Each structure stands twice: as structure tokens, then as C-alpha cells.
A and B are shown apart, each in its own frame.
Chain A
Amino acid sequence: MHEEPLVRWDWIGRNWPNIQVLLEDHVVMSLVPIVVGLLVALPLGLACVRWRWLYQPTVGVMNVVYSLPSLAVFIVLIPVTGLATRTTVMIPLTFYAMAVLIPAVVDGLTAVPDHVRQSAVAMGFTPLRRLLRVELPIAVPVVLAGLRVAAVSSISLVSVGALVGRGGLGYLFIDGWQRQFYTPIIVGIVLVVLLAAVADMLLVLAQRLLTPWSRARGSA
């Protein structure tokens, strides 16, 4: 029996269309939870700042959710949302993103210096305008930092979905493991890491563009 090379380039060439489909699936399943998570975390975070007593219970619940193993949640969801569907994978990932993003939104908003908030009041900002024009923009760097954590963890967790039949690039791990064939495993790892790196870079870039005023504070 001849020595098998670590990476079989010919396999990659033949299977490239399939890999592309998996990659696309992976991107959608990791991106949607982050976007939905952010959209939900914003109002919840605002509510937690407005009504302080909400914050501790909310963080408590989100931490419990975060501690649930993803595989267990996928399995519990199968009867409701179906085996091998995107929804089954995306629902728990949305909650994980929220668990990271709600505290980020709250921290970002409470980090607005008191003298800045007061001067906004004193200059005649209405409460809504103050929120949109002063408080949220100042919270952006902290929220983006949370978003970077959420994005990378979401991209990595999608792979676990392969165990319930929908894991994007995670399928390559199962496939390679079942056949004792390393090429798909290596392709999967490289693509997942690349995806995470690209997402992180885009967010850093967004931060530079959105918040040129915070660069000197060592946040990027």
C-alpha cells in the first residue's frame, strides 16, 4: 500500500462545487444569528439601562442559556424545527450571540461619561435624539468588541450542527472522520479559520471607519 499524501488536491478540485455550497451554508447560519442577536440585544440592552433592576435577571438567564451545550439544544429542537434544518442550528446560536451582546450594549451605554450625557440634556436634546445621536454612537466601540466575540464563536459553533445533519463546513469533519480521510478535515479547518479571520477583520475595519474618534484610546 502506497503512502497517502496529507492533502489530496485532486479531491479538492473534484469536490469544489460541494465545498462552495457548504461554505455558503456556513456563512448564512453564522451570520443570521449575529444580526438577529444584535437586533434583539439592542432594545433589551436599552431596557436594562433604563430599568436597572432588569439587568441582573437578564444577564442571569442569558448566562444559563450560554452554558447549555449546543448539541443538547439542537437535539431538543429537532422535533420542533426539524432535523437538518438551518433553523434548528440558528436558534441556539442567536441566543449565544445575545448572551454576549446584551452585556456589551449595556456596558457601552453605561460607559457614556456623565458629563457628556448631562451636556446633551442641557443643550436641549430630546431623550430619543440623545439616545440615537449621542449615547448609541458612543457605545459603538464596546458593542463592536462584543460583536467580534459573538461572530467568531458563532462561526465556530455552526460546525457542531453537522451532528444533527446541518453544520455547513462541519459536514467535512464528519465525512473525513467516517472515511479516515484527512483532506476534507483539513479543508474544513482551514476554511472555518479563514472565515473567522475575515469576519474579525471586517469588524475591525468597520470599527476604524465608524469610530475614528476612539482610535487613540487603544481600542483597536
Chain B
Amino acid sequence: MITFDGVTKRYADGTVAVDHLSLEVPTGEITVFVGPSGCGKTTSLRMINRMIDATEGRILLDGVDVKTIDPPTLRRGIGYVIQQAGLFPHRKIVDNVATVPHLLGWDRKKARDRAMELLERVGLDLKLADRYPFQLSGGQQQRVGVARALAADPPVLLMDEPFSAVDPIVRASLQEELLRLQAELNKTIVFVTHDIDEAVKLGDRVAVLRVGGHLAQLDAPSTLLARPADDFVREFLGRDRGIRRLSFVTDEGVRLRTDLTVPASAEISSVRDTAEPWLAVVDEENRPLGWVSVKDLPESGTLADARPAPYGTFVRGRDSLRAALDATLLSPSRSAIAVDDSGRVEGVATREALDEALDKVAGGAGA
């Protein structure tokens, strides 16, 4: 756990970058510091590994004041990922990753093996190990940056706007990768960003800072979206926080109907008299094929002869209400097909069912 205890950073010219910041970063979680430029988020991050020293207050790392630890020693025990990766241009990728193990005096073979293991872990082709940084794309360099930060297996990881210099598609994949890694590694991560969407996507908890280094709110993303503490936070969260909030609501409360699916082998005559306008057709393994409009069915034959319309699915128990709602927009029936992890149909979430679930969310949040 990292504890900020009344931490202030005041520069010689009187500028206050961080003002009496007190908060806790729980072990094994991602805590995001987010805010506009000048809110002291990077300064706060850098006070943890003493790249900047606090003017007042204490920062405790598992109860130990960081000021009592010699900076190089402290830093070798804390992973750090910087914007633009900050790779050493004169060292091969594998040696870049092995930097901290080398500093810690591991033997060459062990350091190299560890570096290779990490390159694999962050999803990089091992053929890249003997290249130089300039031969890699920005996204690949950033992955190397993450691998390097993890090399000596530090319990704490500091990430300073690590994904803001890459394009949006690469950024999204790096974010997914980080969440996947974190699920395996359970590091204590402090992540700095100015991008509220990134904060909400990655953070177990999000600290919103305002200019002058004041903490405006520290909460789980869903709470933040549901109950912003004040106008500053509300404005910073942006317009569509209602919809975004649904990303944090599980789909488990959504009632499913099982009477709307029919196998492709069924005779058309057997379904013609149903009262439902749309039916979901499934194959023999119970995988979705698409929607059919009952009134537009051919005269005879099986449902396999009908041309099914596109459909949207969500994974039951894993996806959010937002994903379920999104799936309805992809279907002409305006219903979403719920599938299990292996893609087999569990049932259909109709608009009525989703409306009920949304009512519960809105009622519960009081927003």
C-alpha cells in the first residue's frame, strides 16, 4: 500500500504543484490519477520514487517513509513506465528489458532469460529481442517499456501517461494488454493520465485532481460516473457519463427469454402462427445464425431456407449492460442474443428486459 499523508510540493518560486494530498493506493489495485494539465498528477507520481521530493508531508510505501530510502535503491524496487517509452536507443531490446536486473547485479544469463520471458508475456515477437529501439513501432516500444518496468518483478508500478503518444487503436490494445497482465500479476499500480476514458477503463479507483494539486474525488469508476462530487468532476467526466456508467453494470440482472430461439432445422409451418414478430435461429450446436422476421418467411421449407438478418450478442455474466444495449442496436429485432463463453445461445434479452435493468440502475444511483 502507498500512503500519501498531507503531501505538499511547493517550488522555489512559490508555485504549489500538490497541496496537502492525502490518499491511499491499495495493494494489488490500479489507482489512476487523472486531471487537467497543472493538476499535479505527474508530480504526485514522481514523489513516490523520489524523482521529485515532497516539500511537506510523508509518502509511505508499506509503512516505510520513502525519504528514508536511498533513491537509486528505492527506484530499483519500483517499476516505471514513461510516455514515449524512454528506451535506451543504444541497447538492444533484450538489454533494455534487462536494465534493472543488471543494475541489481543478476548474472547475465538469468537477466537475459527473464527479459525474454517478459517480452513474450507482453505479447512481443522474440525475434525483436536483438533489434534496436528505432526498429520498432511506437506501440511495440511501449510494450518493451512495460516489460522493462516489470523485469525485476517490483511490487509497485508507476505509469506516467504511458499510452498517450500512440494512436487510438494501438492505445486500446495496450490498455487491454495492461488489464490482462494485471489480472495475472496483481501489482500495485499508480497510473497517470489526462484522459478520463482511459482512467475509467483502467482504474479500480480513480483520483480526480484539480489544478493546484487538490484531490477532487477518489472513487471506483462506477461511483464516479454515478455520483460526481462536484461540478468540476461532473464537467471533467464529460457528457455521456450515463451511458459510460453502464460499462460497470453487469448484465446478470437482465431477464432472458428462452422461448424466442428456434433451430434452423425446424419447419417454417411450425412457427408461422407464433405471436412474436422476430425469432432467433440457431444451428445444431446452438450457435446463433441470425434473426428471421416471421411475416417475411417463405411459404414452405425449413428455417435454414430463410435468410437470417444480422444480430448482436453479449457474453452472459461477463459483459456489461452497455455491451448488451449495444448488441440490441445491431439487431433488426432490437433484442440482444445472450451467449455463454463458448458462443452458445443462453437466451434473448428483449428491450423490455433491458428497460427493466436500466430502471434498476437509474433508481439505485439516484442520478
The chain A residues found within 8 Å of chain B, CB to CB, are 113, 115-116, 118-126, 129, 134, 137-138, 140, 211-214, 216-217
Contacts and interface: CB of A to CB of B under 8 A. Distances in A.
A122 B89 contact: no
Contact of B72 (A113, A116, A126): A126
Interface of B: 49, 51, 71-76, 80, 82-91, 99-100, 103, 132-135, 145, 148, 158
Contact of A122 (B80, B84, B90, B134): B80
B85 A134 contact: no
Contact of B82 (A118, A216, A217): A118
A126 B72 CA distance: 6
Given A122-B49, A123-B76, A216 B87 contact: no
Contacts of B72: 124-126
A40 B158 CA distance: 40
Nearest to A122: B80
Given A113-B86, A123-B80, 15 more contacts: A113-B89, A115-B86, A116-B89, A118-B51, A119-B82, A123-B75, A124-B73, A124-B75, A125-B72, A134-B88, A137-B90, A138-B90, A140-B90, A213-B90, A214-B90
Nearest to A140: B90
Nearest to B134: A216
A23 B74 CA distance: 57
Contacts of A113: 84, 86, 89
A134 to B, nearest CB: 6
Contacts, number: 72
Contact of A115 (B71, B82, B100): B82
B90 A123 contact: no
A119 B80 contact: yes
B72 to A, nearest CB: 4
B86 A118 contact: yes
A60 to B, nearest CB: 30
Contacts of A125: 72, 103
Contacts of B87: 116, 119
A113 B49 CA distance: 21
Most chain B beta carbons < 10 A, residue from A118, A119, A125, A213: A119
A214 B89 contact: yes
B88 A121 contact: no
Given A123-B103, A124-B73, A124-B103, A213 B132 contact: yes
Nearest to B73: A124
B183 to A, nearest CB: 25
Contacts of A121: 51, 75
5 contacts: A118-B86, A123-B103, A123-B148, A124-B76, A217-B134
A217 B84 CA distance: 18
Contacts of A119: 80, 82, 85-88, 145
Contacts of B132: 212-213
A120 B88 contact: yes
